[in-house]
Each structure stands twice: as structure tokens, then as C-alpha cells.
Chain A
Amino acid sequence: MDVPMSWLKEYADVNVGIKDFVEDITLSGSKVEGYTVMAGEIKNVVTGYIKEIVKHPDAEKLVICTIDAGQGADLTIVTGAPNVNVGDYVPVALDGSVIAGGKEIHTGPLRGVESQGMLCSVEELGFDLHDFPEAPEYGIYIFPETVELGKDVVEVMDLMDTVVEYEITSNRPDCFSILGIARETAATYKGEFRFPEISVKAEGTGDVNDMISVDIQNAELCPRYVARAVQNVKIEPSPRWMRKRLRAAGVRPINNIVDITNYVMLEMGQPMHAFDINTIAERKIIVRNATAGEQITTLDGVVRDLNESMLVIADPEKAVAIAGVMGGENSMISEDAEAILFESANFDGPNVRITAKNVGLRTDASAKFEKGIDPNMALDAVNRAVQLVEMLGAGDVVPGVVDAYPNKKETWELSYSPEWINKFLGTEIPEEDMQASFERLGLIVDPVNHTVVVPTYRPDLEAQADLAEEVARFYGYDKIVPTLAAGTPTVGKKTYAQTITGMVKDVMIAEGLCEAMTYSFESPKVFDKILLPADSKLRETVTIHNPLGEDFSVMRTVSFNGILNSLSTNYNRRNEQAGLYEVAKVYLPKALPVTELPEEVSTLTMGMYGKMDFYDLKGIVEHLMTSLSMSDKVEYLPEKSLTWMHPGRTASILVDGKSIGYLGEVHPIVAKNYEIGAKTYLAVINVEALVANANRDVIYKPLPKFPAMTRDIAMLVKEDVTVKEIADIIKANGGEHMEAATLFDVYQGSQIEVGYKSVAYSISFRGTDRTLSDADIADGMSAIVSELASKLNAQVRDK
């Protein structure tokens, strides 16, 4: 919302500089986004008089003017403009002046003749024909009357204004108007708010009620429809003061009638529409819902499709406007309009918003309506419009007002307690100051019963807390003393799950992985990219109804697509090595179609490529399990069922026989699909399972007092025997003293028969009460050897 200061000051006094004003009004609740000074850059352009014109000796299209610009000596200025004559008063940019766009003008030769400045067009001063309709379409601006010489044209032409841009919040539709901002300004400075005096002479003939009738068929979407008529309309440019205000407020001046509707909309916040009264069939206005398939060509020449949810202004034959959005071409005011009708209506905000959105036409009017407009303003607004018609001599106002207002919106009463407000704010504001603030905002105060009557333009004031805000705003938020709530003490802490998740992240960082952040929605094409079968349950997704595009259309059911994409980015940027992790959610629908919230499963994903292999990744996973004191519970088994993983190089991670995740090498085809040209490793672990199985109740075990005994054992087994099978047998048969079995060598090669491998374990035994002897471990060792032989056909070699 742009408000020119000159316009604002008509209704409220501002006695401080612009910088202070901007700060003051921001701190009382009308946030200023910024301000601009119109014509602020123009300097040293003055009024001048053309005394003589001679032809340029060397240029056919140039002339040399002798100018009196009140500078003492006459100036010689060369110009190419075709429209200057001796005796004209013109704007003269002197040597060293600045014109629009910050362009500097200096004395200099033009085709060999020294020109001591420049004569200016309105464009060179930053304006155009809409601002100065009397200016020539091409050429120097000629003042229409005699002006004093050597005066600053910014003043003479009244170019300067300061325009302040406000951010208006949705609860304050009244502030989408200059009067609304003026009321806030007056309240901020505890000054007077001057609502314009509206009076209409109505010197036309007849009565508007005899000329037109209004039938509101949907009072919910159109609470009020007010109209007045103007005869003998003279369409012409509006006066400079009006054009200047419109321009400063960001609206292009057109002609007096259009300008008046815009002027009232800016000033009061009430959009208006003007019809040619003769285009209304049977002189009957019907406000009704559009019919299915109905169409209208709007003022911008576009055919719009309507539907039953939209409201139109119609006559018995046709729609003439989309209510609150834009008028129809069929009722447009023509040059020879005999009489026009000013509509000042009230439409339902949400409906206008949806209509504007659906027809794809958001206008100044619809933007105002959608915030919600006070229906009680409609009459003042139409009267203001016809008052301006009289002021501008644009026509004769017909007596009478058409006012269809089936359910008048009434004011309401709120009670307040000064004690409660002070307690709520933590202040000690005197009751009288509260009352004064209410009154400045237009509320009617009953100081005895502590009630206020709220005007209908403040629908946001619904309860005492709202009144507390009004008190606080004009008291000053900055004056409320900051305190630290004592109240009931609470302990600030993380939940158990948050603590475990934090530990997980610490391990990832200790292991040299960088934390990644990826989108939680992705393309359904991901499923093909990871070779997921067509009937996979993971293809059942929570799907976004209105996504930004297919690439962002489904909530992920697998956690690693973002990580693989990020690895791909790293690979393609030639980063030699990349290790990433993320703790994020996957979203699993409970059923399709989605009728309840999906399960959101917190998942740890690690992804990496570079100088590493499967066992580097497994080392990280094992470190994680050790850190959470859960490695005893964890098993790793070959996993062949994940289509995106290498079937021979993937392990599932199990706790109590249930999978909590997996790790391994990404399937080479999938890596290729992601354009990663290196072996890629992935581990995915359910964080909730980590939380459930982590053990934080660590109890210290005494350090060993007696030395350990170690036996190495080497065996030849078939190559597809896993070391886990061997370790399980060793652990199961080692006896009470066995402490640990550590794999120290796996060998396949020339010394070994094809299809076999040599596996060597170091087994340690330790007594808790004595140093063990050979006899103590003999049974265990022989059990291990015989079980390995019988269960795995292992040939245990002598050591």
C-alpha cells in the first residue's frame, strides 16, 4: 500500500521528518517497507523564457535558442525539439543540473555550437502524458501560462512528493486506504483525525431510484449494493492535483471518471465501478451467481469462463461485471455516455478471492475486497465519488441513492478491565490513557461500565486481548519492561530419543561423514531408478495433490534418493571422495487412499564413495553399535532382496532376528542411473530401532587381574562358508573361560585349493580367579575343532 505523504497530511498532522515518521508509524503497528521521494533526483532545472530562435548553421534539425532563465545573462541552448516558439515558457536544465534517471547535464558543443543546458520534456523530468495531458506527445513541455523565471520546476510543476510503502496485515482491511493510515497516524501522534467532509449538491434531474432498480439475489455474497447516477457526463482529463495523487499512489491517471473511482478506492478503501447506464437492459441490476458455462468479456478484452460459485452483476439479459473483480466490456463507459452509474458495493471477501483466483484475474479491486470491507462505508464512498464529480465538473449528479442493504451490519460492544490488560501486558498504564487510545481509533468508550462500541471497520476487535493490543501499540511495545517469567520451574532437556539421535550424529561426524539435508518429497520416477518392482509396497506413497511439479510430488518412502543425488552432485563436481549422512523421515501411508496421517519413520542414511570398501562402511556401522552399547545384540546377514543394492555385497542388520536396516554396495546399475561412476556404499538404519535397543545403563566390569591365554586356530573351509558361521561355532563351544575370538586372516590363493579359503582365528581365554593352564582350555579347544569339522567340514590345520 503506497501512501503519498501530501495526501495523508490532508487528514492527519505529521510534524516530524520522514525518517522519524517512518519509525514512529512502524512501531505503532503500520509497518513501513520503505519510502521514495518522487522527482527527488531532479536538481537545477528552472523555468525559462525563449527570447529568440535561429537555425543551427550546420544541422538542419537543430535550432539555437536564446533563453532567459533568470540567471542574469541569457543562455544559448541548442534543441532538436520541433515544438518551441519564441515567447514560450519552458523547463531549462542548467549547466550541472540533474534530470530523471540521475542524468547530469553540462555545457557542451552540439554540432559546433556551445549549448549551455537543455530544454526538457515531461519524460526528461520523469513523468509522461498521463501526468501532464497538456504536454506535447513529442517535444519540450510548454508551460500553459506565464511563470516567474529562474524558479525550480519541481516546485512550479508540483512534482515532489514522498511516497511511503506500508505492509498491511490481513487483520486490518481498514488500513488498505489512505484514511485508514491517517487514522493510525493521528492515533500515533495523539493528534486529530480529519475525515473528509462529504456533501453532494445533486443538481441533476429526477431520482436515481426511478432510473434503475437493484435486486440482490445472494445477500450472503453481496451484503450491500449502493449506486448513484451522473448525467451530462463530460469525460476529460482530471486536474493536476488529482493526477499527481493517483500517480504518487501508483495508479495511472486515465480520465476524470476512472480517476474518481480510483481516487475513492485509494482514499477510502472502497472499490468502485462505473457503468454506462444505457447498457443495462430494462434498467434492472441483478446481483446473482453465474450459471454454469456462462461467459463474460472483461474490460481487458479477455473472455472469461464463469461458474455457479462466482457472483456477477447482471441485467435481465447478460452479466455486466464479475462482482468485485472487473467490469464487462459490454457496459463500458463510452465517450458519448449519456449517464453513468457509480456502483459502491460490498462483496464477500473469500468468495471474491476464490473467484479472482479461478478466473486468473487479480485486480486492485479484488485485492481490496478479499481482505473484507466494511459495508457501512459503501454509502460514504459513493457520495464521496459524486462529490468529486461535482468538484471536477464532470457531470450533474442525479438526486437520490439506490441502497440495497438487506442485513445491516451493526456495531458491537466489548467490555474490558484495565486491571486485566495491565496484568496481561505486564504494565501499569493508567485507565484514562487506555480510553484515549480507544477513542482515537474511533471506538466509543463508556468509562463507567468499562465497555467500548467497536466500529464496523474494525472486525479484528473481537475480545479483550484485541483491546490489549490496541493499548500496547499506542503505549509503545518498547516501553513494556522485559521480565523473566518466574512461574513454575521446568527442566530443559532432550527426550531420550533426541539424546540417542544426538549420539548417532556424533558417531557419524567422528567417522568423517558430513551431514546432508535433502528434500522429503521426490519424483515417483525414483522407484524405477532404484529398480523397484512394480508391485513393491514402497511404491505406495503419500502423494501431494498440488505439487510444484512431478519431481516434488510424492513423500519419500525410501530415505536414500536424496543422498544418492547428492553423491552424484559431488561425483560430477569431481570431488574425489564424499561421505554423507542424514537423519530424516520416510513417510509410509497406513492405507491408500490416504485418510489418516502416515507413519513418519526417522531414518539414518549414510552414503559414500571414494577410497573405501564394504568393510570401511561396516566399521562405521559397528562403531555406531558399540557407541550405543548394542553391538552384542546385532547380527549381520547376507541380504539379496534389495533391488538397489549389490546382492553379493549387502548385509542386513538384525536385532533379535528382526531387520533394523542394511548396509552394502549400491547396485552398479543404480549407481549408473544416478551417474555416479564410482563404487557407492549405502547404509540405512531405522533410528527408532536404535533408540529402542541402545543401552545407556552401562555398568563397569572389573579390569582383568590374570593374564589371558591365546590359541590361534587356522582352518580350510569352502569359500561360501561365512566367518559368522565359524565365529558362532567358536563362541558356542569355547567353554566358560573363553573371552574372545578375533578373526586375523582370511586367505584365498595359490597355496589353497580352488573353492576353498583359509580362515584364522585367535581365541583368548581368561580366568577370573587364577591364571589358566593348558588343561583348563583343552576341552573347549577340542570341542571347537570337532564342531567346526562336523558342522562346516572345516579342516583345522595344526598350529
Chain B
Amino acid sequence: MKDQLKVIHDKAIAAFNEAKDIKDIEDLKVSVLGKKGELTAILKGMGKLTAEERPIIGQLANEVRQDIEAKLEEAKARLQAAEIAIRLEAEKIDVTMPGKARPEGHKHPMSIVIDEISDIFMGMGYEIAEGPEVEKDYYNFEALNIPANHPAKDEQDTFYINADILLRTQTSPVQVRVMEKGELPIRIIAPGAVYRADEVDATHSPVFHQLEGLVIDKNVTMGDLKGALAVFAKELFGENTKVRFRPHHFPFTEPSAEMDVTCFACGGEGCRVCKGEGYIELLGCGMVHPKVLKMSGIDPEEYSGFAFGMGLERVAMQRYGITDLRLLFENDVKFLKQF
């Protein structure tokens, strides 16, 4: 009987090793371990053994059974792995083929610039103010210390609706509207569209965008103006950006200045982008003119403040190397998808 068990064992092991697939294994399992299997048959014959033989053979038979079962699982695992490997091989795809196109949404480059600048100023405690684009002459000019017949009115080539109503030539009227509300202190920026009668070409557009800023509080100094704008410039153009303030003239600020930033292309060495100057003009600014404060109902003895304004198209064009302003208004998706 011992011999029989050994034969069954060896035969089964050999068969497992030769099995080609899971089904072979299952068949073998039935033919060896099944109810009518060979091993089962032998075990059924245990009754004929002597009492001495029975435990010995019994133990042996169990060992054989356990070994066959273990080998069977082993063989099964091996074959399953092989089958998965075959399937995976069959499922192989060309991963270098392009992905399926999804519709791509993109912000307009002008919005990217406006949002970025707005975020910088919001981080510094500024709110975003808005005002009408079709504006009263009073807010666009007079309340900003630009009376009738002032040459600055002519310089701005205004679109008029009638004698009193015009398309705002600057975002500065928003300053006046905010000041008139009289809620102090004020820290606002006002981005938006402005209009001037310039024929369309690569660098001019009758519609363009400005961003205005205004701070009014007690004891605001020109040092504060420089500090705030220097922080802004570093945030926008990078930590190594330096600023330069040049005296200038705006009717609604005194003292007035223009702020240049070190050229982002050469870092101040002088290059083609900055025409060798090392600096690029970024914005106009100044301390709010006491007359302007007074006209808007703020006491210049008690309060002072600063204001600044910048053209945004130029910032976007310089940042992205766009050389023709008209591209911004064409809305060709091949252009818009680059941002």
C-alpha cells in the first residue's frame, strides 16, 4: 500500500508539472482527490489493514494528500500567472499614441494679468472697486483737477456721447466715486476698460485696460507710496526687481511720479526689450492732490493718500512677448490656447 501511495504521489506531481492550463489541474484534482479518485480509493481500502498498519499508512496517506494539495495549489498559481501574463501581453497598446482631445478652456491673457495683479493687492488689503465705463465728464476730468480747456483733456482724445457724458479715458474716475462715498480709510484697486480715440494698429487700440489704485488714510506718506508699489513690483516681476521713481506730472496727484521697474528680460543690464535703459516704465503714481481730496469731500488736513495707475496691455504684452496688440482682440483660439 505504501508503494501504491508513492506511485500515486509521484504520478500526480509529475502530472501537475506537465499541466497546460487550469482545467488540466482541475481534472487531475478530481481524478486523484475526488470521490472516485485514486487516493480516495486507496483510503477506502484502509479498513482491510491491520491495527498496527492503519495509523502508519493513515499518516502516510495524509502526508501524500497534503503534499499533492500543496503542489496542486502551486501549479494552479503558476498557471494562473502565466494566463494573466498572456492576457496582459494580448492587451498591450501603443502608449505613444496621443491622448483623446478634451476641450481646453483658457483665460484671456489680459484676465490672467488682471487677476494676478488683483491677487497681489488683495493680499495687501485692497478691495476691488468698479465704476461705469460710460462716465460723466465731471468724474473723468473735473473732479480729477482737469478743468475744461485743460490741455490734458486734449491729450487724451476723448470719445464723447454729449458735452457731459463720455467714455472714460482712464480708470481714475473710480477713485472719485469711491472717495465720494466717504468710507475711510480707503484701499482699493479698480481694473477695467478705458477708451481713447486712437486708430487701431500694432500698439494702439481705442479700447484698452487700466488698473487704478487708491489709498487714503491718516498720515499716509510718499514713503508709503514707494513701499507699497515696490512690494507690488517684486510680487509681479520677481524678488530681484528694483524700482525707480521719476518725477512726473498728473493733474490729480502732487507730488507725481512715474515708476520704472528693472527690465525683466535683462534684469537691468540694458537690452533690446528696454532699449538699453535697463528700466521699463510701468506706472504713474503720486500723492493725491489736496484739491482732489477736497472736491470729493475729504479733509486734506486730516487725511492724505496716494494713487497709482497702469496700462495693463503693456504688462501682458511684455510678459508674453506679444508684439501686436490686435491679437488680444481677435480671439483666435490658436492664440488664446497658448495662455
**Given A353-B154, A520-B133, A547 and B108 contact (CB-CB distance below 8 Å):** no
**Chain B residues with CB below 8 A from A484, complex form:** 224, 227-228, 231
Check B199 against A492 for contact (C-beta < 8 Å): no
Residue of A nearest to B205 (CB): A519
A492 and B221: CB pair below 8 A? no
A573 to B331, CA, bound (A): 11
Contact between chains at A488 and B105 (CB < 8 Å): no
Q: Are A472 and B247 in contact (CB under 8 A)?
A: yes
Is the CB of A746 closer than 8 A to any CB of chain B?
A: no
By a CB distance below 8 angstroms, the chain A residues around B108 are: 514-517
Contact assessment for B121 and A481 in the assembled complex, using a CB-CB cutoff below 8 Å: no
Per-residue CB proximity of B106-126 to A under 8 Å, as 1/0? 111011000000000111111
Write the nearest CB–CB distance from A525 to chain B, whole angstroms.
18
Judged by a CB distance under 8 angstroms, whether A426 is at the interface is: yes
Which residues of chain B have C-beta atoms less than 8 A from A477's C-beta? 226, 245-247, 255, 257
Q: How far does the alpha carbon of A542 sit from the alpha carbon of B193 in the complex, in Å? A: 17
- A482 and B226 form a contact (CB under 8 A): yes
Contacts of B257 in A (CB 8 A): 477
- Residues of A near B122 (CB, < 8 A) are 492-494
Let me know if B283 is at the binding interface, CB within 8 A. no
Residues of A within 8 A of B227 (CB): 482-485
Contacts of A424 in B (CB 8 A): 221-222, 287, 304
Q: Using an 8 Å CB-CB cutoff, how does the interface string of A499-524 with B read, 1 for contact, 0 for none? A: 00000010011111111111111000
CB-nearest residue of chain B to A464: B290
A490 touches B127 (CB 8 A): yes
How many angstroms between the C-alpha atoms of A725 and B9 in the bound complex?
75
| A595 proximity list for chain B (CB < 8 A) | 162
Does B274 belong to the interface (CB within 8 Å)?
no
Interface flags for A155-185 (1: CB within 8 Å of B; 0: not) read: 0000000000000011110000000000000
Interchain CB contact under 8 A, B334 and A515 = no
A552 at the interface (CB under 8 A from B): yes
Q: Give the interface SS of chain B, mostly helix, strand, loop or mixed.
A: mixed
Any chain A CB within 8 A of the CB of B215?
yes
Once bound together, how far apart are the Cα atoms of A350 and B102, in whole Å? 60
Q: Are A509 and B331 in contact (CB under 8 A)?
A: no
Which residues of chain B in 200-215 are interfacial with respect to chain A, using CB atoms and an 8 Å cutoff?
Answer: 200, 206-207, 215
Residue of A nearest to B105 (CB): A509
Q: Are A546 and B132 in contact (CB under 8 A)?
A: no
Total residues of chain B contacting the partner, CB 8 A = 82
* 8 Å CB contact of A519 from B155, B207, B258: B207
Given contacts A484-B228, A547-B159, A566-B330, whether A514 and B255 have CB atoms under 8 Å apart is no
Q: Quick check: is A206 within 8 A (CB to CB) of the other chain? A: no
Most buried by A among B230, B231, B248, B254: B254
B89 sits at the interface (CB 8 A): no
How far in angstroms is the closest Cβ of chain B from A754?
37
Binds B, one of A22-30, A39-47, A239-247: A22-30
Known contacts A468-B254, A594-B161: does B333 contact A575 (CB below 8 Å)? yes
- The residue of chain B having its C-beta at the shortest distance from the C-beta of A491 within the complex is B125
- B151:A512 contact, CB within 8 angstroms: no
Contact A488 B185 (CB under 8 A): yes
CA separation between A512 and B150, bound complex, in Å? Answer: 48
Chain A nearest CB, measured from B122 CB (Å) = 4
Q: Are A542 and B103 also in contact (CB < 8 A) when A482-B226, A492-B187 are?
A: no
Q: Is the CB of B256 within 8 A of A469?
A: yes
B127/A465 in contact, CB under 8 A: no
Q: Which residues of B contact A493 (CB under 8 A)?
A: 122, 127
Which of A50-58, A577-585, A629-637 makes up part of the contact surface?
A577-585
Interface assignment of A473: CB less than 8 Å from any CB of chain B: yes
* 26 residue pairs from A and B, CB less than 8 Å apart: A170-B155, A170-B249, A370-B151, A468-B287, A477-B226, A478-B244, A481-B223, A482-B223, A488-B185, A490-B187, A492-B124, A505-B107, A509-B105, A509-B107, A512-B102, A513-B103, A514-B104, A514-B336, A515-B111, A519-B206, A520-B133, A566-B331, A575-B334, A577-B333, A585-B133, A597-B132
Given contacts A485-B224, A515-B111, A555-B167, 7 further A-B contacts (CB under 8 A): A29-B246, A29-B247, A170-B249, A478-B244, A484-B224, A492-B123, A514-B333
The list of the 6 closest CB pairs from A to B, nearest first, reads A512-B103, A426-B223, A426-B221, A29-B247, A509-B105, A469-B255
Using CB atoms and an 8 Å cutoff, list the residues of chain B in contact with chain A.
Answer: 102-108, 110-111, 121-128, 132-136, 149-152, 154-155, 159-162, 165, 167, 185, 187, 193, 197, 199-200, 206-207, 215, 217-224, 226-228, 230-231, 244-249, 251, 254-258, 287, 289-291, 304, 328-334, 336-337
